[in-house]
Copies of this chain bind each other. A is one copy, B any other.
């Protein structure tokens, strides 16, 4: 930047405003639309997950009514509850994403169109005013090396760059927050889920071991069949 003359400085500053107006904001608008699709797809997933684990829970409740599989029924109900809780927690993350990221992106795009156009317009007026003042002073014979004008242009460029940076920082901050909330959920939930899943595995194995096999005419076939079909569980 230091090597730029006043014309280059001015053109670069205009290019920064143009980039916000023609690249960043349309990109943000596209992103907000894609984000809405993403959230809708998550909501659809949450509904199918709910339907699936409700149905699994019902099968667990049936098992709890049976003579053979009360413990397994209890495990199935617990698994269903656990998955439904996990989906609820994820819904919380997506609600945050919707209100704190997507809605703000939408609002910013809407408000920023006019704001950035005005900023650019204000900058152009300021440049014209400063340039005229410089010209007037030179005509009056006041000695001028133009350094004050270049300093002004540099300050304006710094401000435009800050505008641009703030917009990218907003994006980076919001999305690292999204990742962080997913990571937080994973770390909060992962350990307990692992322990519960191991507990269920032990209970399931317990039901396998608790009744020693005494093969009979019928059972010979049953065992052979189940080894293929129900994965010898």
* Contact surface of A with B, Cβ cutoff 8 Å: 1, 12, 16, 19, 23-24, 27-28, 30-31, 34-35, 37-38, 40-42, 44-45, 47-49, 51-52, 55-56, 58-59, 62-63, 66-69, 72-73, 75-76, 79, 82-83, 86, 104, 107-108, 111-112, 115, 119, 122-123, 126, 155-156, 158-159, 161-173, 175-177, 179-180, 182-184, 186-187, 189-191, 193-194, 196-198, 200-201, 203-204, 207-208, 211, 214, 216-219, 222, 225-226, 229-231, 233
Contacts and interface: CB of A to CB of B under 8 A. Distances in A.
A16 B176 contact: no
Number of copies of this chain in the oligomer? 2
Contacts of A31: 52, 55-56, 59
B162 A211 contact: yes
A72 B27 CA distance: 16
A226 B42 CA distance: 31
B41 A169 contact: no
A141 B48 CA distance: 65
A229 B108 contact: yes
A190 B58 CA distance: 32
B162 A222 contact: yes
B216 A79 contact: no
Across the A-B interface, give the 10 residue pairs with the lowest CB-CB distance, nearest first: A186-B190, A176-B200, A183-B193, A180-B197, A69-B168, A68-B161, A68-B165, A183-B194, A186-B186, A72-B168
Given A72-B169, A190-B187, A79 B175 contact: yes
B233 A179 contact: no
Nearest to A165: B68
B68 A204 contact: no
